[in-house]
Structure 1
């Protein structure tokens, strides 16, 4: 079974070009990459298979040739429900300013909500060519990637930029705040973290924070916290020889029984049995 590592928080551009572009292929319909955010904008382009995305209080089911633009700081999570191939373009926040003369930039662009047209076809080709040139890395490839990137930026800004007066400022304010809360949880999930503690840290009542989480991530605070813990535990089960007890302790679980229960509910096996099955497959 092939597993793909997902690192979304700290995005480093490819060598010689100001963006990061890569592809991944993954199949684990039980594993959901937890809600997260980053300062880079991101385009996910499905070349093969399917990809599910949860964002802005709804679920997007992307099929072959679908793509979606995720704005900077938009909280989202992903799942690969079947074998797939996805091209990912991540554009750092500082570079985004070159697309908008240093003004704020909000893009609404996806093939699920908007009618497919020649612009989408052109964008697919630009994304694919950028990926090919970045992989090929022949002489002066970075110049070609730059030219394709600015052509893509032109299409995005000209056709899909949302005017500032049409942006839901209140929702954006909550998303900005929620991104800070998510970051705090990721930095403290190893400890005995509670809803009351996080609410107090950010000046909210537990009830208010609970409603905010449910509205903007589609999950409860505890579900989100456990998904962060489980995602980290999963990586340690797969890539280390640490005991399951140690992994439970490292990731904030009250005891190994709690980890075993959540792991089995998600992956169908206990951590020990899952680790053994992977070794047998290899």
Structure 2
């Protein structure tokens, strides 16, 4: 198989279930590192999943396709792909020899140093491969040394790696504020796990204890959008992925993604993407 993590990983303790013979944690569990090689007789498929930890995959040998709501990423030898927190993705490894290195960075460590919103739901290829792989290798090299100097160097390398991820993601530094946004991170996480439900702005207000105006301002400040636009786009992204990866009926996809009816999904889909769900599916499968 190409990757050992097949479940939806949300909470830190679920990483404990990863096969201990191939996993490697640092002493603080800032990171989980996997280095795996072998031979696939047939294509290896990791079904649609997501996790709370940031995932970085470096392909050394073999070829992989990563499917996301935004499209396909072909990952070839020497390539590095970054899969942000909560990003839906499916992985397909070609038959033949493979070797990959995979680093998962603890969401808790990330939240100590930056707003999680900066890398939530983003998937992108690394362009400056040499510099990035050098940082990636430094993190791996230093993660199991227990002396104080090595631990400081390890943490510094890990922060440099996150900094490079941000640069490669092309985020807009002027659209984010540096004050603590743990509350907004919790709201985004809640929305991403309850988008199928009827979660109105008033419902969020009651659940988190903030006024609807305050929550609306947070969406405007951190994401430059309003709540209902964000929620609709989240549901549409999930619908696109299901259209791309399944043969489910449009009405079933509509309800699974939180739309009140098939008609509502079709209207929103056409408004955002200029085509109906059926047209999009036909285009993707042609």
Contact 1:17 1:146 in 2 (8 A): no
Change in CA separation of 1:206 and 1:108 when aligned onto 2, cut-off 3 Å: closer
Q: Quick one: distance in 2 between partners of 1:203 and 1:10?
A: 25
1:130 paired to 2:139: yes
The equivalent residue for 1:60 is 73
The equivalent residue for 2:163 is 154
Query: Aligned-pair distance for 1:67?
Result: 0.7
TM-score by length of 1: 0.54
Q: Quick one: distance in 1 between partners of 2:167 and 2:84?
A: 16
Change in CA separation of 1:103 and 1:41 when aligned onto 2, cut-off 3 Å: closer
Q: Quick one: distance in 1 between partners of 2:85 and 2:171?
A: 14
Contact 2:64 2:76 in 1 (8 A): yes
Change in CA separation of 1:172 and 1:55 when aligned onto 2, cut-off 3 Å: farther
Change in CA separation of 1:29 and 1:162 when aligned onto 2, cut-off 3 Å: farther
CA-to-aligned-CA distance 1:5-25 (integer Å, 9 cap, x gap):
323522646342312222233
- Give the count of matched residue pairs: 198
Query: Aligned-pair distance for 1:172?
Result: 5.8
The equivalent residue for 2:104 is 90
The equivalent residue for 1:22 is 34
Task: Tell me the secondary structure at the aligned position of residue 25 of structure 1.
Answer: strand
Task: Tell me the secondary structure at the aligned position of residue 73 of structure 1.
Answer: coil
Which segments of 5 or more consecutive residues in structure 2 lack a partner in the other structure? 16-24, 177-221, 240-247, 270-275
Runs of 4+ with deviation above 6 angstroms: 165-168, 178-181
Equivalent residue in structure 1 for 2:260, among 196, 204, 213: 204
Between Structure 1 and Structure 2, which shows a larger proportion of strand residues? Answer: 2
Q: How does 1:3-152 map to 2 (within 5 A)?
A: 5-10=4-9, 12=12, 14=25, 15-25=27-37, 27=40, 29-81=42-94, 82-100=96-114, 102=115, 104-106=117-119, 109-111=124-126, 114=127, 116=128, 120-134=129-143, 137-140=144-147, 142-152=151-161
Q: Quick one: distance in 1 between partners of 2:82 and 2:133?
A: 12
Q: Quick one: distance in 1 between partners of 2:37 and 2:230?
A: 32
Q: Quick one: distance in 2 between partners of 1:171 and 1:80?
A: 35
Change in CA separation of 1:30 and 1:47 when aligned onto 2, cut-off 3 Å: closer
Query: Aligned-pair distance for 1:54?
Result: 0.8
CA-to-aligned-CA distance 1:141-167 (integer Å, 9 cap, x gap):
644432210121222334544124997
TM-score by length of 2: 0.53
Give the CA RMSD over aligned residues. Answer: 4.1
Contact 2:60 2:101 in 1 (8 A): yes
Instruction: For CA contacts below 8 A with separation 6 or more, give which structure has more relative contact order.
Output: 1
Query: Aligned-pair distance for 1:90?
Result: 1.7
Q: Quick one: distance in 2 between partners of 1:121 and 1:149?
A: 16
CA-to-aligned-CA distance 1:194-233 (integer Å, 9 cap, x gap):
9767754734324666997x97xx979xxxxxxxxxxxxx
Query: Aligned-pair distance for 1:38?
Result: 1.6
Q: Quick one: distance in 2 between partners of 1:162 and 1:151?
A: 16
The equivalent residue for 2:215 is none
Q: Quick one: distance in 1 between partners of 2:251 and 2:30?
A: 41
